[in-house]
Structure 1
Amino acid sequence: MTARPDVHGTSGAPTLGALTAGQLVRLCDVAGLSLADAYAYATVLIEALGPVAERPLDLPPLYRTFLSDDHTPVEYSLSFPPNGAPALRVLLEPGYAAGGRWARNGRAGLRAIREMAQRWNITTDLLDGLEDLFFPPSPQGPLALLCALELRPGGVPRMKVYLNPAARGEERSAETVREALHRLGHRRAFASLPAADGYPFLALDLGDWETPRVKVYLRHDGLAAEEAPALCRMDPGPAPAEIEEFVRTAAGLAPDLLDADSSETGGVAARLTRRPVLTCHSFTDKESDGPCGFTLHIPVRDYVRHDGEAVARAVTLLGRYGMDTAPLLRAPSAVTSRRLEDGVGLIAYLALAHQHGRPPRVTAYVSAEAYEVRPPLGSRPARAATAGGR
């Protein structure tokens, strides 16, 4: 029988591990996982955080992690298929306890990844073959290594790792992605990618995946909704109108979501100039000339006044695709007791994923908010551009 993890902290004081383990247990219930699986996965999370799990929450974050706005090293997501329960994922920084020095952080993260992989009999050969590219002696960039676990019944997750293409320097990001794809056997993949303003991640599926993917994430600064369809390189792919409609709805640019005095009306292209849109391009077939998957990530938290609006947009999108909205509506209370209208950022991203041979999926990314709640925005927030990735 699986032991129940400590979700209160050994001293009774709130700790990072206690908070996030409790959130994860409740989100497992939202996703329809058993209590035994929930406790098993919460234990994995606490172990992956290491000694920092016992860090009291009245202390500031250990350092300014790239993973979340308030620097919690944990984030959740619910990925919704049509007519089924959502898949729950937890994204974490496995080297967080090593601090903000990327060389030490990255090596600690690698050790944690390999220990988790060994527990579940997952091979890390693909990751091992890229170690020199993404973990140089003096790494650069905003992060070292992230890990996502897709939580499945039975206590054995699917694993994904996210690597930093800027590790050898931002100016070499494209070169690093190209070389990584070449080593992985996808020699024509890089040429199929659209133009981008940056390469925030390269991701690998590890473990029991039907068709393991290599995924390249691209950043698009100041994107207009009507420009988004051209970023999809799947063939066949979703209709251009579907892509544009998703951007408009998620970012609040649909006509029924705009303010009466908004400058986005009148046929003027509205550019997403706060936090940039990300696209993800998935590759499975090494002989193919292009990607088999395309995902749009809209940073909804920068285009709403408060989380009530973000949830409403997510409900609209789920309904459009025939997906069950009940788990999404339960998710916020599994993570926080605050009112949705009292902050912004609990729903960080809304994403639309298309993959050959599979129905589309909508994903909502949920923040842990361990250290801070961003106050709701005013009715007309400043439209200053930001350089942030996530």
Structure 2
Amino acid sequence: MEGLVAAESLVEHVTGQLSRLCRFTGTDAAEPARLVADLLGDAGRRPLAAGPAWRSDVADDHSPVEFSVAFDRHGPPVLRLLAEAAVADPAVPADLTPALDFLHRQAGRHDLGLARLEQVRDLFTTDRPQGLFGMWHSLILRDVPEFKVYLNPEIHGVAGSGALVREALGRLGAGPAYRVVRERALRPADRLTFFALDLRDSGTARIKLYVSQHGAGLDEVARAAAAVPGVDPAEVTAFCELASGSAGPYDRRPIIASYTFAPGAPAPIGYSVYVPIRSYVADDLEAYDRAHALLVRHGFDPAALEAAVTAVSRRPLRDGVGLIAHVSLRVGPPRPGLGVYLSSEAYAVTAPQPQRIPAAS
């Protein structure tokens, strides 16, 4: 990677990318950089040449940070950051302790709303956590950072994830809406991948469930989207087909559907679809061209995409695949729009893949 210094640390690499992205979005980088340094702790000071301190599942090269740009219908692009707190014991990556310690350090400084998390925290707590993560943190970098957590529904094992999610959403007043998703959208092959909470006390704070739709085709993606009132399944499938270059089935990395819940609502109030574009392109130039076309199709200025990609990496896009990791379409409240997800590539660049022939429509 251009500009990589042998002795550069993880936190130096990530905060450099973050600073350039913040210049692009007009955001003050000082507090986001402090938060990243706090999350990464001693692992952040580890030289990149030494490799990752633990095998984070945030990114393919085990970088514990991923950036994204949210293109919103009703405002300018917003920078977001997904990160994992430094794991104390690499043999137990799903341990919640480091992530909760980070939240407690930030709670007073940023007036975090932890009440809903406390309502369900015991469900995600165990002496024998399973899976590749316990909790991830999302920072939405507006003038005042907003916090969100992703919890692992499979922390007790895959078989128990459905009961765990049902209980958690029931406690939070979203049981009826989850029944709609369970009955109209979920398939036996689907996995309940993330349970997410906005950490703020407001009427727009979200409860979200992410579902990995393994091996799904467009008809199954459409059925999952139709579980949410007001969502046009044709818009969702058109997005997936343009992003992936095929009509499926999506048998590499799965399409991910997310459902937004509000207490007392009889059905989900919002929906997003995430396409792991890196699995369906030969290289990042192809991914860039598809993301560019999606932005144009949905009425966004594609110049912002070039600025964001350049802020993260200046390597030729043909030289790797995975810098542009996902693209997403958000439908419904509170902020409909598109998202482009950018890997930090702190440790490695994945080599381009052979050109794939799209499946027949």
Q: Deviations over 1:265-301 (max 9, x none)?
A: xxxx6311110111000012x2222100000000000
Q: Compared with structure 1, are the counterparts of its residues 100 and 381 closer, same or farther at alpha carbon in structure 2 (3 Å cutoff)?
A: farther
- The answer to whether the 8 Å contact 2:38/2:102 transfers is no
Structure 1 residues 354 and 54: CA distance shift in structure 2, 3 A: same
Letter aligned with residue 160 of structure 1: K
Q: Aligned to 1:90, what secondary structure does the other structure show?
A: strand
Q: Which residue of 1 aligns with 2:14?
A: 20
Which has the higher mean CA deviation after the structures are superposed, 127-136 or 168-177?
127-136
2:134 and 2:151 in contact (8 A); partners too: yes
Contact 2:231 2:332 in 1 (8 A): no
* SS of 2:271 mapped into structure 1: strand
**Which consecutive unaligned segments of at least 5 residues does structure 1 have?**
1-7, 254-268, 384-390
Task: Compute the TM-score of the two structures, normalised by the length of structure 2.
Answer: 0.92
Alpha-carbon distance, 1:209 to partner: 5.2
Aligned with 2:313 (options 327, 336, 347): 336
1:282 paired residue number:
260
Structure 1 window deviating more from structure 2 (126-135 vs 97-106): it is: 97-106
- Structure 1 position 106, deviation (Å): 1.2
How far the C-alpha of 1:234 sits from its partner, in A, is: 5.4
Deviates more, 1:362-371 or 1:183-192: 183-192
Instruction: Look up the SS of the partner of 2:166 in the other structure.
Output: helix
8 Å CA contact 1:102, 1:144 repeated in 2:
no
Q: Look up the equivalent residue of 1:223 and give its one-letter code.
A: A
What does the per-residue CA deviation read over 1:49-105, in whole Å, with 9 as the maximum and x for residues that have no partner? 1111100000111121111100000001101023642111011002x2413243784
Q: Which amino acid aligns with 1:279?
A: A
* One-letter amino acid of the structure 2 residue matched with residue 19 of structure 1: H
- Note if contact 1:282-1:291 (Cα within 8 Å) is conserved in structure 2: yes
Instruction: List aligned pairs for 1:1-390, cutoff 5 A.
Output: 13-33=7-27, 37-82=28-73, 84-94=75-85, 96-102=86-92, 105-153=95-143, 156-193=144-181, 194-196=185-187, 197-207=190-200, 211-233=204-226, 235-253=228-246, 270-284=248-262, 286-356=263-333, 360-380=336-356
SS in 2 for 1:250: helix
CA contact (8 A) 1:146 1:163 kept: yes
CA contact (8 A) 1:198 1:220 kept: yes
Task: List per-residue Cα deviations over 1:30-55 (Å, max 9, x = no partner).
Answer: 2222xxx2122112211221111100
What is the rounded CA distance, in whole Å, between the counterparts of 1:159 and 1:29 in structure 2?
Answer: 21
Matches of 1:104 and 1:217, distance apart in 2: 18
Pairwise CA distance, 1:120? 0.5
Quick check: 1:279–1:295 contact (8 Å CA) kept in 2? yes
Off by >3 Å, runs of 4+ in structure 1: 101-105, 233-236, 380-383
Q: Is the 8 A contact 1:67 1:73 kept in 2?
A: yes
Change (3 A) 1:312 1:382: closer
- DSSP-derived class of the 1:167 partner: coil
> Following the alignment from structure 1 to structure 2, what is the Cα–Cα distance between the partners of residues 140 and 359?
33
CA contact (8 A) 1:351 1:363 kept: yes
Cα separation, partners in 2 of 1:359 and 1:118, compared to 1, 3 Å: closer
How large is the Cα RMSD of the aligned pairs?
2.2
Distance 2:335 2:31 in 1: 30
